């Protein structure tokens, strides 16, 4: 798994038709991470699997998976 060594800020637009960014998010060792990226997703070339997500839309959500999902427009999982 590739991981960036330096903090990285990326803006990933949503697909015009689906509204998706084309990423799956996961929790790895207590961190919210990019778990997968769809082949033709807006996130391709902007994020890589294993990137840690510390915030969405300028709001800190480090280590809070449900918070990331809600800001991403995905339903919370319990």
Report how many domains make up the chain: 1
- Specify the pLDDT at position 77: 46
pTM for this entry: 0.69
Half-sphere exposure of 46 (CA within 13 A, CB side): 18
Q: Is the pLDDT of residue 12 over 70?
A: yes
Q: How many other CB atoms are found less than 10 A from the CB of residue 33? A: 21
Residue 2, domain CATH: 2.30.42.10
- Specify the pLDDT at position 76: 43
pLDDT digits (tens, 9 = 90+) for 32-75: 889 999 998 999 999 999 888 887 777 777 666 666 666 655 54
Residue 28 or 68, more confident: 28
Determine contact, residues 13/21, Cβ cutoff 8 Å. yes
In this structure, what DSSP letter does residue 44 have?
A: B
- Specify the pLDDT at position 58: 77
Domain span at residue 16 reads 1-78
């Amino acid at each position: 798994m590739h991981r960036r060594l330096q903090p990285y800020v990326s803006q990933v637009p949503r697909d015009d038709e689906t509204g998706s960014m084309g990423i799956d998010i996961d929790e790895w060792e207590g961190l919210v991470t990019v778990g997968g990226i769809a082949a033709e997703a807006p996130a391709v070339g902007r994020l890589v699997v294993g990137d840690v997500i510390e915030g969405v839309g300028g709001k800190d959500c480090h280590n809070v998976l449900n918070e990331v999902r809600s800001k991403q427009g995905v339903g919370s999982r319990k």
